[in-house]
Amino acid sequence: MSLVAKKILIAEDSATMRSLIVSTISAMGNYETIEAANGFEALRILPQEKVDLVITDINMPDINGLELVSFIKKNPNYQTTPLFIVSTEGSDRDREKGMALGADAYLVKPFSPVELQSLINKYLG
């Protein structure tokens, strides 16, 4: 087991939802979270931090989550970085669009903290 905490970048414009995700991850131990209030801020953080997982909302100002997913998965530096979408947009079309861009998982809000923890364990555990 590594002593270095894995880093998870959370791009979410809702402070309440960010806080919920951070507390869900904190309860797991051994993970460090980095918060971005929008896609633009996430893009600013990515080159500065070695991120092991990205969790992003879709509906955000400036650069939305789908644009962020597209950028991350097209960039050779981050292509293998797991990425989860968390969104209120739960239609099959939205899910298919997110997964087609390269997301590894798509959670519809409200989601179970256990479901998120299970996915994190699957990809980083």
- 74-100 pLDDT, tens per residue? 999 999 999 999 999 889 998 999 999
Going by their DSSP bridges, the two strands 6-11 and 53-56 should be labelled as: parallel
pLDDT at 1 over 70: no
Q: At what angle do helices 113-124 and 15-26 cross, to 10 degrees?
A: 60
- What's the confidence (pLDDT) of residue 125? 87
**Mean pLDDT calculated for residue range 16-43:** 96
32-76: pLDDT as tens digits:
999 999 999 999 999 999 999 999 999 998 899 999 999 999 999
For the entire predicted model, the pTM comes to 0.95
- Surface-to-core class of residue 8, CB atoms within 10 Å of its CB (0-12 exposed, 13-18 middle, 19+ buried): buried
According to DSSP, residue 40 is labeled H
